[in-house]
Amino acid sequence: MDSARSPIRTICCIGAGYVGGPTMAVIADRCPHIQVTVVDLNVERIDAWNDPDLARLPVYEPGLDAVVGRARGRNLHFTTEVDGAIAAADMVFLSVNTPTKTRGVGAGQASDLRWIEASARQVAAVARGHTIVVEKSTLPVRTAEAVKAILGAAQQNGSGPANGETKTFSVLSNPEFLAEGTAIGDLESPDRVLIGGEDASAIECLAGIYATWVPDERILRTNLWSSELSKLTANAYLAQRISSINSIAALCEATGADVREVGRAIGTDSRIGSRFLQAGPGFGGSCFQKDILNLVYLCRHYGLEEVAAYWEQVVTLNTWQQDRIARMVVQRLFGTITGKRLAVLGFAFKADTNDTREAPAIRICRELIEEGARLVIVDPKVSSAQIAADLGQPPSAAEGGWQVAASPLEAATGADAVLILTEWREYARLDWDAIGAVMRRPAWLFDARAIADADAARAAGLNVWRVGEG
Ligand code: UDX
Ligand code: ADP
């Protein structure tokens, strides 16, 4: 079925975040005949999505401004009028946040499903006629069951609109595989689209929308649970590769090998593949850690202790990598950084995003602050307010404080060390002669992404540590 044959004409997406916003923008762009309304309770966020200045969208994602610019006001709308948009929709996407629980049963591992439940209840209350409900948030396996139960109760109640019309629902799982920073390319040309469900006609309605621009052989249909579990598994596999290469990076540093050479050597094996072999300060982002912890929780729930322990180690290694980098910085700076100025380049969890969720920079900076350093942080897209929220303290020039600077050069002025924590392209082209000239000696470059021109930094008189280089 192509989209012209899909009966879906109105979509509502609950949640205007990093997933909902870009995904709906691309659907609206590719399917001009479908009205797409993205709703959120967060007024500020919706206002930012409606900002006439496309440079001020709440999500920074290369290419997103152009897509939103084409579709917004035509068939892409952002609003806080949640009920109206749900009532009008043939299809509702649930794209709300599902962070790891901070308290109660499963704290630290299970996902907090309160926003999913709240939005499912809202759909149950105000939807009209037949509505296809699509899980888009990353969810633990069997969440669709809860969503179905809530919607099923509304169905049985017959708590339909006043005219006596009955409401019915189909629930689908359609996990998102986009990576931040490349979201638009990932959405426009996905490796695959995964649709899980039991209602074949609902599956084809959603498949028909994607078929507008995605070849049919890339649209995979599975049962609900396989679809949910595939998302967790994909993220666990990807994260596992990063922990694996970071573990080898530590061994390279101890033995004199170079992790980039090892990565290149193993990556040419087509069974291994060359991607996701970059050693660094550990993975961040809203998905990897959360999804692995979900998997661990699920395995424990089913009594699979060895399986749980196996995946848990991926997260343990990731945290260790961050701790080890912070400790190494202290140790190389003569065992103390109290009062020392350290320039931190990059705070986002990866390049080309303004997202800092689970960013390795947060943990590393907190540890350096704990040691009494004076941090001067630069990031091209992360605001000072976001850094304050992540570090849990306002900016200050005091010992154990942090401030922002406008440029790497300004941050490095008077600093004992420069730390690169995010692989922003501009950090590959830094002018080390200029930076070296304004630093206090002996000066250090700690390059946790191995992106800087290490030879130029050495030539400028800096001592250099690069992740994975022995
Ligand atoms: C990830 C998945 O890639 C995506 O499919 C899923 O939908 C959401 O989670 P994302 O977290 O946005 O996407 O970015 P990704 O590119 O996967 O990077 C995750 C983290 O791993 C980043 O901190 C990145 O710096 C790190 N990373 C990635 C490495 O350290 N080395 C690598 O080789 C690749
Ligand atoms: P993701 O990365 O999964 O997109 P975000 O946290 O960026 O996660 O976005 C999720 C959005 O969902 C937030 O903007 C939040 O305000 C919104 N949200 C959560 N619950 C509801 C709800 N019941 N109704 C509308 N929006 C909601």
Give the ligand whose atoms come closest to the C-alpha of residue 291. 1
CA of 330 to the centre of ligand 1 (A): 27
Residue with tokens 């900002």: 51
The whole-angstrom separation of Cα 110 and Cα 327 is 30
Query: What tens digit of pLDDT does each residue of 137-190 get?
Result: 777 777 888 899 999 888 776 555 555 678 999 999 999 999 999 999 999 999
Average pLDDT over residues 54-61: 95
CA-based radius of gyration for the chain: 24
Whether the CB-CB separation of 318 and 243 falls below 8 Å is answered with yes
Q: Which DSSP symbol is given to 401?
A: E
- As given in the structure block, the two tokens for residue 415 are 């600093």
Minimal-distance CA residue to ligand 2 atom 9: 17
Structure tokens at 369: 């602050």
* 287 is known as an active-site residue: yes
Dist. CA 111–CA 89, nearest whole Å: 27
| pLDDT digit string, tens, across residues 89-98 | 999 999 998 8
Encoding tokens for residue 378? Answer: 């630069």
Find the catalytic residue in 13, 205, 252, 287: 287
Q: Is any ligand 2 atom within 6 A of the Cβ of residue 173?
A: no
CATH 3.40.50.720 residue ranges for the chain: 3-222, 231-470
CATH fold of 231-470 reads: Rossmann fold (3.40.50)
Q: What is the whole-number distance in angstroms between the Cα of residue 290 and the centre of ligand 1?
A: 13
Yes or no: is domain 3-222 CATH 3.40.50.720? yes
Q: How far is the CA of 110 from the centre of ligand 2 (A)?
A: 18
Mean per-residue pLDDT over the chain, rounded = 95
What confidence category does residue 312 fall into, taking pLDDT thresholds of 50, 70 and 90? very high
Measured CA to CA, the distance from residue 154 to residue 275 in angstroms comes to 46
Look at residue 224 and tell me whether its pLDDT is greater than 80: yes
Mean pLDDT lowest for which of 34-48, 140-154, 348-362, 411-425?
A: 140-154
Distances from the Cα of 234 to the Cαs of 102, 142, 323, in angstroms? 24, 17, 26
Residue 406 buriedness (CB in 10 A; 0-12 / 13-18 / 19+): exposed
In this structure, what are the phi and psi dihedrals at residue 200, rounded to the nearest 5 degrees? -60, -35
- Taking residues 204-225, report their average pLDDT: 97
- Report which protein residue has its CA nearest ligand 2's atom 22: 119
Tokens of 402: 């942090």
Q: What is the mean pLDDT of residues 200-215?
A: 97
Token representation of residue 64:
């997103």
Mean pLDDT of 406-430: 98
Whether the upstream peptide bond of residue 442 has omega within 30° of 0, thus cis, is yes
- Tokens in use for 144? 């669709």
Give the C-alpha separation, 141 to 210, whole Å.
Answer: 23
